[in-house]
């Protein structure tokens, strides 16, 4: 086994748990979630349907990362989950570049860095 494989699986598991919990929070209490994220109100008024849509995407994407953590052969699912996260992160990068964000630090640490880590963790090692 490649020595990075266990590290990637742990990273996928931790990211998957955190991201899936975020998705559940978005679905269970969209208004509370919206009020809890620093700078989010800067993006526009609360929309429960939109928050729930994104909550489903977060839940599914991160369950795919959890699958990779449990079974390395499920890396294609994790790649799909990481693709959502990276696409979402690219929107945040553009928002930062165009100065349309309420809090660039929050965007970086809660969206961009986890997406980059997810992409790395989802990528299989040679043996996977």
- Write down the pTM of the prediction: 0.91
**Tell me, what's the pLDDT at 127?**
62
**Tell me, what's the pLDDT at 43?**
85
What is the average pLDDT value for the chain, to the nearest integer?
94
Domain extent listing, the chain = 5-122
**Tell me, what's the pLDDT at 81?**
97
φ, ψ for residue 45, nearest 5 deg? -70, 155
**What would the pLDDT profile of 77-108 be if each residue is shown by its tens digit?**
999 999 999 999 999 999 999 998 878 999 99
**What would the pLDDT profile of 2-19 be if each residue is shown by its tens digit?**
899 999 999 999 999 999
């Amino acid at each position: 086994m490649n020595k990075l494989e266990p590290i990637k699986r742990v990273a996928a598991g931790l990211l998957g748990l955190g991201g899936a919990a975020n998705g559940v929070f978005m679905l269970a209490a969209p208004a509370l979630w919206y009020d809890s994220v620093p700078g989010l109100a800067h993006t526009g008024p609360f929309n429960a349907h939109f928050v729930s849509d994104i909550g489903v995407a977060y839940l599914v994407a991160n369950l795919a990362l959890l699958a990779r953590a449990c079974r390395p052969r499920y890396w294609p699912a994790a790649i799909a989950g990481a693709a959502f996260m990276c696409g979402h992160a690219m929107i945040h990068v553009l928002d930062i570049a165009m100065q349309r964000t309420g809090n660039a630090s929050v965007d970086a640490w809660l969206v961009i860095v986890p997406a980059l880590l997810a992409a790395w963790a989802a990528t299989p090692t040679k043996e996977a």
